[in-house]
Amino acid sequence: MPADTSIDRVMRTEAAPRKRRWWRRKSDIGALDYARRWWMKLFVGAMFAMLYAPIITLMLFSFNDSRRNIVWKGFTFKYYIKAWNNDGLIEAFANSLTIAVISTVLSTIIGAMVALTLWRFRFPGKPAYEGFMALPIVVPEICMGVAMLVFFARIGWPSGMPWPLNLSSITIAHVAFSFPFVAVVVRARMTGFNRELEEAAKDLGASEWQTFRDVILPFMKPGVVAGALLAFTLSLDDFVITFFTSGPDTVTFPVKVYSMVRFSVTPEVNAASTVLVVITVIATFFAMKFQAPVKGSAD
Amino acid sequence: MTDAIISIRNITKRFGQVVAVDNISFDIPTNEFFALLGPSGCGKTTLLRMISGLENPTEGAIILDGVDTTGIPPNRRPVNMVFQSYAVFPHMNVLENVGYGLKVVGTPKSEIETRARDALQKVQLPELAERMPDQLSGGQRQRVALARALVKEPKVLLLDEPLSALDAKLREQMRLELANLQASVGITFIIVTHDQDEALSMADRIAVMDSGRVSQIATPEELYESPKTRFVADFIGKVNLLDGTVGSAGGKQITINVDGVGQLKVPLEGDAPSGEVAVAIRPEKLKLSSRKPAGDDVKIQGKVVNLAYYGNASHVFLETDSGLPMTANVQNDTRDFEGAIDVGDKTWISWRPDDALVLTE
């Protein structure tokens, strides 16, 4: 009789009734089906709880009918109304939105142009340029903030101008750190572009401009929209760089919330923060939606 | 040639140090289905792109319908291209895609619509005008690309590997359709392909290209039956190449000494070569038999080393007694072929002297 091969052994163990441990009972879970294992579910659940519990608590407590805002005292919209009537807060909010809109428009245009340049052309020093362009993404914000402060002080950028010119320094700072994000997103989008589309347009008689308008731009659009929304949320949220570039009369929303918290954490702060979270989430949602690859676009 | 629609004159294209196209000249007459055939990297696509204007030749000129195209950008040349990836614009529907070439030159809207629908009719896609490209199959997208190019009524239509992305059945069908389409629209077609079957079955004439040069320009039949070089013989179909030296030449016959086979008599056309040559015999021209065949045929003994079964035919890999590898193509015209020949069988290999060809290059 031949020696006991491993196949024989496997066959025999398979045939024998196996004593199953309780944690191994679900035998239909594949070897790589981690998502279906109970410990993975637990771990993922815990992760999400850790990440989002504070934010959800913040949102819930914005409806808390209590000044100290430590224990739940009942439901109210009072603090939303109070926040709405807080002129300082509203002014900060208006400042933030103005800065966000202007810096988004500027950084989207600059970022898209940078992305196009990097995608379309070969020129000496391109890798170096690409690296330097992306620096604001990696440079710590605090350094950027200090650098901006020193820069504006050094060149004597005028302050105390009438609104909205007094926001110019913050806006410039925001453009400086958000256009690389736009460039990166648009560039990533363009790598999926089939060069033959451009050639086909030219072959069919389109001029350089017609090709750009009719073929390249429509393909680029989702990337540009996603980049713009990214720039918008970055600008709206930014605290560190804004803090260094803002003056007493140019308080933005995050800076204002920070100063309010220094006195006391009232549900008013929660309400204001909730509004900001909601705006950010909506913008991010659309950014993701536009960034999703268009089916069949590679052809 | 006076009626040449396109005339390639001493075209050379260099990319840095690499010579992609090396001093090519030929003419293509009006209304011809012309194929550029060659292995990848032979320069055929580069040549096509130079005709379209997407690349500029380093040297030489392309004369299109009597006009030197040097310096004319692709958007102002009366040629259109069907791209390998089809390059159907993903954000436009089928009708917009087909009409795009008319729109950019300012054709009135009503005319665009009529002509685009007409072109879709020609490629048999009239019912899909409102579809988006991502709702189309590969074959349908290709038809859109074809219609989009044809609607411009180009003087020459360029096709870059148009069938390579289709599955085998569809490819065969499209070959016929392309040939019919070319005949019905009366436009010169230039097709680039690496697939010899494609070129042989569709084209009126084929230019076989190798490392940037044209090896031979001829009709499909001429290319297959009378290749000029080893490369052409080997690239178009399968061939047995036997190296030898020229022995005696006399009258319409020449004797070649092939190592291990002996003297082979081969018919001679034109001047007698000398020195090292190759004798080429197509696999389907070899006959296999277990008994020594009678008659004047060239006969060698050998054995079967391997068999490849293709259904309608089988490739029989042979080794002569002297150790030369040969391949025979046997039609499976009876159902019991597999039993008839087996690996290891001794066999006589024979062919008619007229079926062999001497290649000097």
Nearest to B351 by CA among B283, B293, B298, B276: B298
Nearest to A223 by CA among A266, A184, A171: A184
pLDDT in tens, A198-248: 999 999 999 999 999 999 999 999 899 889 988 998 998 899 999 998 877
DSSP letter, residue A156 = T
Domain residue limits at B23: 4-233
SS3 A75: strand
Cβ <8 Å between A205 and B152: yes
Beta-carbon contacts of A195 under 8 Å, excluding residues fewer than 6 positions away, are none
Cβ-contact B346, B360 below 8 angstroms: no
**What are the mean pLDDT values of chain B's consecutive 10-residue runs (361 residues total)?**
81 92 92 92 92 92 91 92 92 94 92 93 89 91 93 93 86 89 91 91 93 92 90 90 82 80 78 81 88 82 89 88 88 68 86 86 75
Instruction: Take residue B309 and report the two structure tokens written for it.
Output: 């079964």
What are the chain A neighbours of B192 within 8 Å (beta carbons)?
none
Instruction: Take residue B258 and report the two structure tokens written for it.
Output: 């092939």
Cis peptide preceding A293, ω within 30 of 0 = no
**Best of B49, B50, B75, B143 to disrupt the A interface by mutation (most A CBs within 10 Å)?**
B75
B93 in the same domain as B78? yes
Helix (H) or strand (E) holding A208: helix A208-211
B312 in the same domain as B185? no
Higher-pLDDT residue of A291 and B262 is B262
Domain at B261, CATH number: 2.40.50.100
Cβ <8 Å between B89 and A207: no
Cβ-contact B88, B145 below 8 angstroms: yes
Nearest to B47 by CA among B65, B30, B35: B35
B83 in the same domain as B189? yes
B279 in the same domain as B229? no
- Across A165-174, A245-254, B91-100, which has the greatest mean pLDDT? B91-100
What are the chain A neighbours of B100 within 8 Å (beta carbons)?
201, 204, 206, 214
pLDDT at A68: 77
B289 in the same domain as B268? yes
| The residue count for chain A | 299
B112 to chain A nearest CA, in Å? 14
Cβ <8 Å between A204 and B54: no
Please, what are the domains in chain A?
35-76 (no CATH), 83-291 (1.10.3720.10)
Q: How far apart are CA A228 and CA A236, in angstroms?
A: 12
B125 to chain A nearest CA, in Å? 19
**Best of A122, A204, A219 to disrupt the B interface by mutation (most B CBs within 10 Å)?**
A204
Nearest to B154 by CA among B165, B144, B142, B146: B146
B163 in the same domain as B21? yes
Identify which of A204, A207, A299 has the shortest CB distance to residue B148: A204
DSSP letter, residue A20 = P
The separation between the first and the last C-alpha atoms of chain B, rounded to the nearest angstrom, is 27
**Structural domain count of chain B:** 2
B62 in the same domain as B28? yes
Q: How far apart are CA B57 and CA B44, in angstroms?
A: 13
Interface of A with B (CB under 8 A): 194, 196-197, 199-207, 210, 214-215, 218-219, 294-297, 299
Q: Which residues does residue B242 pair with via DSSP β-bridges, in sequence order?
A: B279
What are the chain B neighbours of A194 within 8 Å (beta carbons)?
85, 87
SS3 A200: helix
Identify which of A204, A215, A219 has the shortest CB distance to residue B152: A204
Q: Residue A297 — very low, low, confident or very high, per pLDDT cuts 50/70/90?
A: very low
Cβ-contact A159, A165 below 8 angstroms: no
Strands B33-37 and B205-210: parallel
**Is pTM beyond 0.80 here?**
no
The residue assigned the tokens 């039956």 is: B225
DSSP letter, residue A27 = T
Cβ-contact B37, B209 below 8 angstroms: yes
Cβ <8 Å between A205 and B75: yes
Q: Which of B233, B248, B283 marks a domain boundary?
A: B233
Nearest to A212 by CA among A224, A195, A198: A198
SS3 A248: coil
**Best of B81, B96, B151, B160 to disrupt the A interface by mutation (most A CBs within 10 Å)?**
B81
Put simply, whether B348 touches A (Cβ < 8 Å) is no
Q: How far apart are CA A106 and CA A103, in angstroms?
A: 5
Task: Quickly list H helices, B151-214.
Answer: 168-185, 196-202
> B101: nearest CA in chain A?
A204
Q: Residue A49 — very low, low, confident or very high, per pLDDT cuts 50/70/90?
A: very high
pLDDT at A295: 44
Q: Name the E strands within chain A.
A: none
Cβ <8 Å between B89 and A296: no
Cβ-contact B80, B113 below 8 angstroms: no
> A299: nearest CA in chain B?
B87
Is residue A277 pLDDT above 90, yes or no?
no
Nearest to B220 by CA among B235, B241, B239: B235
Put simply, whether B342 touches A (Cβ < 8 Å) is no
B124 in the same domain as B198? yes
**Interior/surface letters B175-208, b for 16+ CB within 10 angstroms, e for the rest:** bebbbebbeeeebbbbbbbbebebbbebbbbbbb
pLDDT in tens, A22-40: 655 556 777 788 877 888 8
pLDDT at B321: 87
Strands B188-193 and B33-37: parallel
CB proximity under 8 Å: B 112-171 to A: 132-134, 141, 145, 148-149, 152
Put simply, whether B73 touches A (Cβ < 8 Å) is yes
Q: Name the E strands within chain B.
A: 4-15, 18-29, 33-37, 59-64, 67-68, 79-82, 156-160, 188-193, 205-210, 213-218, 240-250, 253-258, 262-267, 276-281, 287-289, 298-309, 313-320, 325-331, 346-351, 357-359
B193 in the same domain as B72? yes
> B132: nearest CA in chain A?
A296
Beta-carbon contacts of B85 under 8 Å, excluding residues fewer than 6 positions away, are A194, A196, A299, B165
B62 in the same domain as B32? yes
Identity (one letter) of the amino acid at A206?
A
B210 in the same domain as B85? yes
Q: How far apart are CA B316 and CA B319, in angstroms?
A: 10
SS3 A31: coil
Cβ-contact B348, B300 below 8 angstroms: yes
Q: How far apart are CA A252 and CA A40, in angstroms?
A: 42
The 10 Å Cβ neighbour count of residue B164 is 14
B81 to chain A nearest CA, in Å? 7
Q: Which of B233, B260, B277 marks a domain boundary?
A: B233
B254 in the same domain as B208? no
**Best of A197, A199, A203, A214 to disrupt the B interface by mutation (most B CBs within 10 Å)?**
A203
Is residue A139 pLDDT above 80, yes or no?
yes
Cβ-contact B76, A283 below 8 angstroms: no
Q: Which of B208, B233, B258 marks a domain boundary?
A: B233
> B52: nearest CA in chain A?
A203
Cβ <8 Å between A203 and B133: no
pLDDT above 70 as % of chain A: 88
pLDDT at A16: 52
Identify which of B74, B90, B152 has the shortest CB distance to residue A202: B74
**Best of B54, B140, B157 to disrupt the A interface by mutation (most A CBs within 10 Å)?**
B54
C-alpha B22: how far from chain center: 19
Instruction: Take residue B335 and report the two structure tokens written for it.
Output: 């159902």
Nearest to B68 by CA among B154, B10, B150, B20: B10
Cβ <8 Å between A204 and B101: yes
Q: Is A151 exposed, middle or buried (0-12, 13-18, 19+ CB in 10 A)?
A: middle
**Interior/surface letters A271-280, b for 16+ CB within 10 angstroms, e for the rest:** bbbbbbbebb
Q: Name the E strands within A20-164.
A: none
pLDDT at A32: 80
ipTM exceeding 0.90, yes/no: no
Q: How far apart are CA A270 and CA A79, in angstroms?
A: 8
Q: Residue A296 — very low, low, confident or very high, per pLDDT cuts 50/70/90?
A: very low
What are the chain B neighbours of A196 within 8 Å (beta carbons)?
83-85, 87
Nearest to B261 by CA among B317, B320, B328, B303: B320
Domain at B71, CATH number: 3.40.50.300
In total, the C-beta contacts within 8 angstroms joining chain A to chain B are 80
Task: Compute the C-alpha angle B156/B159/B160, nearest 5°.
Answer: 140
| Range A118-142 average pLDDT | 90
